[in-house]
Structure 1
């Protein structure tokens, strides 16, 4: 089984189960020993006692993390956020230190009992002090990690709210400008019908034909412009998603990129955290705008629809290259246009890795780059 974990993630996920299991078992054993006044030598050889400790491990684990207000998702390693990356590296260093100290004192005790070495200190006493000290450090570290995660989440939510207000403002101004265009068209169309009415009254076929061919026949062509496609975003039921998409489409138009929006039926966001869905859309659309902007006749297609039990998002854009390389685009640090882009796509992969039913596929050919997200409900 191969993962995309980096070194920090491998060390953390590899040592965390051992450290928690070993530390919790020793804490439970220490408590039971003093509760029942058991000797250490008798306790370590008692099979029933060891079975009881093992059975108490799971409830102790659940009560411990519930008491600290920490959920399993809070133990997910974040190596993109600089401060969180430092915290996880500190935790890894503490795991390794605890592991080495416990193993050294345990091995020293075994060698002493076998007469291989002579020591003038009590390994069990030293190991118990290491355990209690590290248990306190572990609690503080978990609380600090939980605090950092909550702070980061609060910042992201606030940034999302601020951005949503800004995007909604842009969307409202765009809708207002379209409304003014439609009012203007209605006024012009009324004048056209008046002139046509006069021609009909005079039974002037030449004038009627002239008015139709020169004015009426092409009068609706202006509404084929891509800027009117943004109105299709009204089918997206979530305001935050709608405001983000409208903002990105308007940004693309401002840069001279043609857009096409296909959201033909009312649809809700897929079943993942809203902020994660918005993050994914933002990254994919930013990349699409970057690539299309480099093309002479750049364009972007955004589609969001549902097929049976699947919600599908398609982001397509033109590219300068006939066929862009796609094999390593989700690797951390890999980018064809700046570091942020590489980090962004790596972030998309990190988010989707938490949802086994969600996937992303990438295809590039004929100067088109297509990314398709599939959310299995």
Structure 2
């Protein structure tokens, strides 16, 4: 193989390594980056790596840290470092562990192994299955690494892991740079760099595994706490919903009793063939007797068509809350329907944010209105939340950016979280419109494409 062919082969391997890191980044971050964007970023990083050549040995693991600020996220410094370094550590550490095992299995010396294109290609190809089965074996779901720095324990663990990542990369890459400097006689060291790197690798691999397991345990524990909170709130909301239904039943029972008396009065008038009395009874009582059932509070009865108790309880609670604030509500759930094809916690979180925002905006408007519709159309479920707003329309181009809101500095976090959740699911799309003092959110859930 000529020098040019060797160079091109190495560059292809390096490009594939960058691609793998970006796909790992997409999975652990939950950002749902499009493939086109990943390819574009990978080409840029590969070009930078090509320009830097050997100096990229030290800088290359930190490339993602430079990319993250250009992505729309709500992360502070701690998760940025975590998500920026974890793919580099996984790639570097796992490939070295695989290489260590292959060298032992095939009895190949380190110099021959490192200079072999075949072994370099093999390492790159084995990285994905090793990564997959390593996490699966530990019972860790990388796609659920949603770092919440509000949880002090999670934050402390992530800070410790960030320190672990930084020191590992600095020690490994520093060792390589010293080895190159020693080979070129810039310095003179009587040492075995491979032995030192192997020990660094093994120590940090154990630390990485232990910290990963602990972080996973804490995240699962936190999720269970959220589920329990959701269940408790669901019971409270269902109780409130039940009381409201009982109130509607009392209204209907009272109406039935009154209507019986009305019919008795009408019957007497008919027997007496007193047309004027019949007209009087009709005009005074019967003509307007059903108007009370046009009240929007009876619309909540349509929530009985929702088959999921958590969703039903949340909707009933939010609608009654809006009604208590003087907002006219309307609910349209014409037929039996369940939740869409996504994690229930994500769906409930998203629904809660959208309803809270709609209620808050409608409450600021005189004769404010809040409408909710949920229905099936062909192969998709569609949910529409519509509310009154004070302005003629809202500029929607930036409302989903973190911290951007018409309600003041530091607000608008909720809608940014909604966008983050939507981006996690390729089968979910969100459309936002605003006109004629109305703000409309339409969520479409395509079934079977989770």
2:404/2:410 contact within 8 Å kept: no
The answer as to 2:72 corresponding to 1:4 is yes
Once the two structures are TM-superposed, the CA of residue 123 in structure 1 deviates from its matched residue by: 2.3
Listed one character per residue, the Cα deviations across residues 175-204 of structure 1 (whole Å, up to 9, x for unaligned) are: 111111111111100111111111111111
Once the two structures are TM-superposed, the CA of residue 7 in structure 1 deviates from its matched residue by: 6.5
Query: Which aligned pairs between 1:1-377 and structure 2 lie closer than 5 A?
Result: 1=37, 3-5=71-73, 6=75, 11-35=81-105, 38-78=108-148, 83-85=153-155, 87-337=157-407, 342-377=412-447
Moved more, 86-95 or 215-224: 86-95
Q: Point out where structure 2 has 5 or more consecutive residues left out of the alignment.
A: 1-36, 38-69
Q: Distance in 1 between matches of 2:375 and 2:218?
A: 36
2:427/2:446 contact within 8 Å kept: yes
Moved more, 65-74 or 163-172: 65-74
2:380/2:446 contact within 8 Å kept: yes
TM, length-normalised to structure 2: 0.78
Structure-1 residue corresponding to 2:40:
none
2:369/2:388 contact within 8 Å kept: yes
Q: Distance in 2 between matches of 1:351 and 1:80?
A: 18
TM, length-normalised to structure 1: 0.92
Q: Point out where structure 1 has 5 or more consecutive residues left out of the alignment.
A: none
2:145/2:219 contact within 8 Å kept: no
SS at match of 1:267: coil
Moved more, 364-373 or 52-61: 52-61
Distance 1:364 1:83, change over 3 A: farther
**4+ residue runs over 6 A deviation:** none
Once the two structures are TM-superposed, the CA of residue 293 in structure 1 deviates from its matched residue by: 1.2
Listed one character per residue, the Cα deviations across residues 305-329 of structure 1 (whole Å, up to 9, x for unaligned) are: 1111121111111112222332322
Matched positions, count: 377
Listed one character per residue, the Cα deviations across residues 122-176 of structure 1 (whole Å, up to 9, x for unaligned) are: 3222222221221122112211220121011101110111011101100111111
SS at match of 1:300: strand
Q: Distance in 1 between matches of 2:150 and 2:402?
A: 9
Once the two structures are TM-superposed, the CA of residue 292 in structure 1 deviates from its matched residue by: 1.2
Distance 1:152 1:372, change over 3 A: same
Once the two structures are TM-superposed, the CA of residue 42 in structure 1 deviates from its matched residue by: 3.8
